[in-house]
Amino acid sequence: MPLPAILDVDTGVDDALAIVFASASPELELRGITCVAGNTELPDVVDNTSALLTMLGRTDVPLAVGAVRPLLRAPVGRDNAIRHGGHGRGYAGLPPTGAKPIAADASQLIIDEARACDGELTLIATGPLTNVAIAARREPRLPELVRQLVVMGGAFRCPGNITPVAEFNIQADAEAAKIVFDAFRGCPRRPLVLGLDVTYQVRLESSSIEEIASRAGDAITVAPGSEAWGAPGTPLVAYLVDALRYYADWHLDAYGFYGSFMHDPLTVAVALDPTLVTTSAVAVDVECRGELTTGQTVVDWDGVWDIEPNVDVALGIDTRRALEQVVERVGAATAHAAAVHPDA
Ligand code: RIB
Ligand code: CA
């Protein structure tokens, strides 16, 4: 039976790959996609997500609008936009946004689906945890109603990417992350959290990107400094190629390689196949007041707090299988889009 799931996103470039991956995974029954401000401002997140669902032929998936800003701290705004392009889609323009948001807001959809699925819902979060925190506050039974929460966030034994010690999703709304990790303490299945420790180990580089496009019949050449990688035949491949081209420019500048980490599609892959990672059950809390350390995921590796573990932290990942699955699933979606929109 397919896993009923909700994907909570701040659709930037890697979130787009996560949405495409999820839409091409028959093991997932996508019960909704919920939007949260993060990589870019909320209207862009909603527009990007709507356009992707439209291009994927998945306007059947309920799209819900969520938090426009973190619970307490100042909105990220466009500060993070430099990483994903001004509107969270790199160099891509905005394709038609056919999928219209439902009336219920994100936290209400999460609560409604958790109640309806009665313990079977997988909640996958690839942005700041604001929507999940609001849902947990509105429905205190959420941790029992959710089969498992799978999160992209944190830097547990590695440096941060937004401050020296904090990862973007957690730091963007540290209070929300703290609320979520506290709320899910003691639930039947600990949240499975992929931090930078594992997402930094898998890179989408030229040959993989060219392979994804080739599944749609598009021959592109991924090369630094190029004005365009080719002329994709479908809106979906054109969007992904232009978004990834910006992301590759940014990764070349920030990390020295021309390609993309895949924080978010890896999180969907692991939600479907937890054997991709090795984990450690640990007690985790989130720093919310540190002048230098706010957003840090603090781990009690040696049990000095003497409290039960509340998170399964991913520490190792099968990089070969993980990359294969992303190329396979995203490639399947681009091939399908080409079939659905042959004359696009
Ligand atoms: O730190 C990486 C995370 O922050 C990813 O989810 C990326 O999309 C951004 O949201
Ligand atoms: Ca994200």
Of 209, 199, 208, 200, nearest in space to 243 by CA? 209
Atom index in ligand 1 nearest the CA of residue 13 equals 8
Closest C-alpha residue for ligand 1 atom 1: 168
87 labelled catalytic: no
Q: Which ligand is nearest to the CA of 266?
A: 1
Burial code (b: 16+ CB inside 10 Å, e: under 16) for 229-257 equals bbebbbbbbbbbbbbbbbbbbbbeeeeee
Q: What is the pLDDT of residues 274-304, one digit of tens each?
A: 999 999 999 999 999 999 999 999 999 999 9
The answer to whether residue 65 scores a pLDDT higher than 90 is yes
Closest C-alpha residue for ligand 1 atom 5: 263
**Residue 79 banded pLDDT, cuts 50, 70, 90:** low
- Please state, rounded to an integer, the average pLDDT across all residues of the chain: 95
Give residue 85 CA to ligand 1 midpoint distance, Å: 13
Of 293, 300, 204, nearest in space to 247 by CA? 204
- Percentage of the chain lying above the pLDDT 90 cut: 92
Residue at 196: amino acid letter:
L
pTM for this entry = 0.97
SS3 15: helix
Contact 165, 285 (CB under 8 A): no
Pocket around ligand 1 at a 6 A CB cut-off: 10, 12, 14-15, 38-39, 126-127, 152, 161, 167-169, 263-264
Give residue 303 CA to ligand 1 midpoint distance, Å: 29
The answer to whether residue 344 scores a pLDDT higher than 60 is no
Atom index in ligand 1 nearest the CA of residue 263 equals 5
| Structure tokens that stand for 254 in this block | 């920030």
Phi then psi for residue 217, to 5 deg, are 85, 10
Catalytic residue among 84, 87, 251, 263: 263
Atom index in ligand 1 nearest the CA of residue 126 equals 6
Q: Which ligand is nearest to the CA of 161?
A: 1
**Rounded CA separation 328/323 (Å):** 8
